[in-house]
Structure 1
Amino acid sequence: MEWIVLIVAGLFEMFAVMMMNHWHRQKTKTAFCLMIAGFLLSFLFLAIALETIPMSMGYAIWTGIGAAGAAIIGILFYNESKNSKRIFFLSLIILSVIGLKLLG
């Protein structure tokens, strides 16, 4: 169950970063409020997950989900670079997160 909570925390992190990008583009109150809510929920779920998952592993996985997820969202929805080097390094982040889970 704690792994699901950690994944949810990472998904809220991705959502918050997406709302941050949206807010920088349009400066709406809704985007700002959703960004704050996303970060608050992300930290809340991370704190809950870290009650049972070791902090070093939980934080690394949460950060990996947020970083890779935000980059993938940027590629898919904001027309960011899709070059092979970027895809390669995103793949490394994702494989590292999976590796940490398998070793944990």
Structure 2
Amino acid sequence: MSWVILLIAGLLEVGWAIGLKYSDGFTKLWPTVGTVFSLVASFLLLGLALKTLPVGTAYAIWVGIGALGTALLGILLFDESADVLKLVSLGLIFAGIVGLKLAHA
């Protein structure tokens, strides 16, 4: 169950990172509310996952999910570049997430 909680925490990290963009410097109410909610929920769930998962592994996976998801949504939502080097680098982050999970199994 801790792995599922960690996955949700990582997805919420993506939510607050993207929410920062939509909040326009915290000047838009609802995007700001969503951002703060996602931030708090992400940290709380990370803390719960850390009850049974090793801190280094869990934190690296949490950050990896956040970085990967945020970069992909940046490409999809904000027309950020998607050159080959960037996509290969994101693939390496994904491989790292999978590798860390497998190493803990």
Q: TM-score, normalised by structure 1?
A: 0.96
Matched position secondary structure for 1:24: coil
Contact 2:20/2:26 (8 A) holds in 1: no
Specify whether residues 26 and 63 from structure 1 end up closer, same or farther in structure 2 by C-alpha distance, changes over 3 A only. closer
- Residue 69 of structure 1: aligned partner: 69
1:58 paired to 2:62: no
Structure 2: 5+ residue stretches without partners: none
- Residue 90 of structure 2: aligned partner: 90
- Residue 46 of structure 2: aligned partner: 46
CA distance in 1, matches of 2:5, 2:49: 6
Contact 2:75/2:81 (8 A) holds in 1: yes
Structure 1: 5+ residue stretches without partners: none
Superposed CA RMSD: 1.2
Amino acid at match of 1:50: L
Q: Deviations over 1:44-85 (max 9, x none)?
A: 000000000000000000000001110000011110001000
CA distance in 1, matches of 2:68, 2:7: 13
Matched residue pairs, number? 104
